[in-house]
Chains A and B, each alone.
Chain A
Amino acid sequence: MKKVMMGNHALSYGAKLARSQVIAAYPITPQTQVVELLSEMCSDGTLDAKFINVESEHSAMAACIGASVAGARAFTATSSQGLALMHEMLHWAAGGRHPIVMGNINRSMAPGWSIWTDQNDSLSERDTGWMQYYCASNQEVLDTVIQAFKVSERLMIPGMVILDAFALSHTYEVVDVPDQALVDKYLPPFKPEIRLTPSDPRAFGGLTGSEHYFELRYKLQKYMEKAPALIEETGREFEKIFGRNLGLVDAYRCDDADFVFVTSGTAGFTARVVVDEFRKSGLKAGNLRIKVFRPFPFAKVREVLKKVKKAAVVDRNCSYGAHGIFYQEVKSALYGEAGMPPVFGYIAGLGGRDITTDSFKEVAAHALAKDKADEEIVWIGVKK
C-alpha cells in the first residue's frame, strides 16, 4: 500500500511492521512524530507493544536494554542532545549485545541551540559498537528499520537508523508500506538463545576481570565484521520479497566515472542532479552514497573508487582537530592500495545550512583544478 508520509512516520511504520514489543522514548525535536505515532499505535491496539514514557533518553535506552535482555524486541528514537545523553547506555547496549534498533534524527549539537541537521551527533557515537545506517529517502528509512532488526538480532549488535533533520524527518514522500504478512516472513520473532529469566538464572554483565573482558570485545568486533556480508545478504533477500535492494553503499553512475562525489544522507540526491548535468556536458561524474557507516564498508568503497580518477568526499560533520569524518574513513579505506584515486575532503552544511547543487559545483571546480589533495579542510559555503 502506498502512503504519503514524513520521514519520522517512516520510522514509526518500520518499528510497527517489525512488531516492536517495547518502545521507551523521550521527546526531542525533530524526533517527536516518530514516538507520537507509535504511542497512538500502542494505545489503539494497532501495535501490540508496551510504550514507556520515560523521563529521559538515558532511561529510554536503559529500559530498551532491560526489555531486550528479557527477550523482547525493543525500539526507540532520539536525536542530538538526547543521543548524547544516551552515550553511556549506547556502550552498554552494544557491550551487552542487545539488538535494539533506534532511529536517530541527525541534528546539530548545542550550543548554540540548533534543531537543524548535521551528523556530529551520530558520528560522536562512532565507537560505541552500534551499526549505523544513513538513509536518504523515507522508503529507505522504513525498509532499513525492518532490515536492521534482522541484522541486529542475527549478530546481537544494536543498530541505529539515521536520517537528516527536516530534510528527511519532516519531508513527505510516497512510501510503499509493505504487507505485514510479508514482513513477518522476512523478519521472524526475536528468540534470543539466552535471556533474563528465573528459569535459567544467569548474571549478565557482572564484574569482568582482564582474563575475560578482552575476549568479549574481540567477539563484538568479530561479529561486527560479519555485518557487511549479512547486510548485503539480507538486502538481497529483502529485494526478492519487496523489490527494493538494501546495500552497504548506493553507487550512482560510478561504473565509468572519472569524478565521484562521495556523500551520505540526503545530500547525495542533490549531488546526483549535478552528476546528471555534468554528464550532459561531457564530464563523466558519479555519486557514491555511503549508507552503512558502521561497520564501514571498506571493501565496497575500494571496489567503487578504484576505477575512478578523482573522488571528493562531502562531509556534513567535523572531527575538530582532524577533518570530515567520512573523508578520514574513505582515505583509510584506500590507503596502501595501488591505483587508488586522490581523495579531496570538503565540509559543508553544518547546522542545517543547505547543501545545494551550487555547493557540489564548487566542490567539483576545486577538485578538478587540482592534481593532489591538500590536507587542509576545504569549507563549502562558510562565511569566513
Chain B
Amino acid sequence: MALSWTDFKTDVFIDWCPGCGNYGILTALQMTLAELGLEPHRVVLVSGIGCSGKLPHFVKAYGVHTLHGRVLPFAQGIKIANPSLEVIAIGGDGDGLGIGAGHFVNAGRRNVDITYLIHNNGVYGLTKGQASPTLKLNLKVKSIPKPNLNEGMNPIILAIAAGYTFVARAYAYDTKHLKEILKQAIRHKGLALVDILQPCPTYNDINTKEWYAGLDRIDPKTGKPMSRLYKLEEIDYDPTVHNPDEELDKKIAAIEKAKEWGDKIPIGIFYKNELVPAFHERIAKRMPFYLSSPPAKQIIHDSNNSPAIYIDEFLEELKMT
C-alpha cells in the first residue's frame, strides 16, 4: 500500500512559533519520505539542538535528537554501522556552521551517503535570536542589541570546498520545490547538503517571508511583487559533473552562483557529482562484505554465546613458542 505523508505524523504537539518556516520543511520532508516509499522503520532522522532539533519528534520514523553541533558525527556513525538505513541529518545554521563547523567540513572528506538539511534562518532562535554564522555583517535583526560584527558565511561555498557531492538550496515556504530537492538529495549517492532558507518570524525581521517574496519590490509593469528567489533549473545551468574533467569548472560555476544574494537569490541544485566514491564504496573496497555484513548486522556470538570469531591470526604473531 502506498505511503501517505500522514503515515509519518506523530501525535507530539508541534511547538514551533506560528508562521515558522520549519512547518514547511516538516511537511515537505514527510511528503518526500512518503513519495519515495521509504518505510518509516528504515528511516532515521538525526538532529542537533535548537528549534530544528525537535523535528524528529514530529516524524514517525526513528528519531535521534542529539547534541548541539554534533548531528553529523551521530548521523555518520549510524549510517556507517548500518548502511541499509536511510539517514537524514537535520540542524540549524548555528548548529552546523558555528559549533559544529569542524564536523561540517570533515564530513565532506568522507562523503557518507546521507542527506543533511540545514534550517538556515540567520539566528539562534531557541536562545532568543542571537546572530548565527549566516547572518551578514552589519545586519541588525530585532533580537540583537547591536549590528552584527561578524561576516556571514555561505554554506553552499563551504560545502563545495569541503567536498560535499550534492549541494542545493531550497526555500521553506516553497514546499513543492523543497520536496523535489529533498527527493534528489536523498537519492543522491554520497553526502548531500540542502541549505533551506527558513524565515524566523519571531527574531529575524530582515530575511522575512515578505522580503523573500519581494513585497517591497513591486514590478511597475505588472504591479506585482518581484520575488527575490529564482530557480536554477529555470535558467541555463547544469550542476552535474558528467566526467572528472568537469569537476573544477562546475565547482567554480556553483561558487559564482552561490555568491548571488540580495535581489537575486538562486535556489535549486548548485552542484552534483556522483563520480566521487561514497564512503561505503571506499570501505567495501577494503572489506568486500561490508554492505552485506555491515557492523550492525554481524553475528558476534555462536549458539553457546561464545565469541563468533577466531583470533589465531592475532595470537600467531604474539606466540612465544
Are A and B genuine complex partners?
A: no
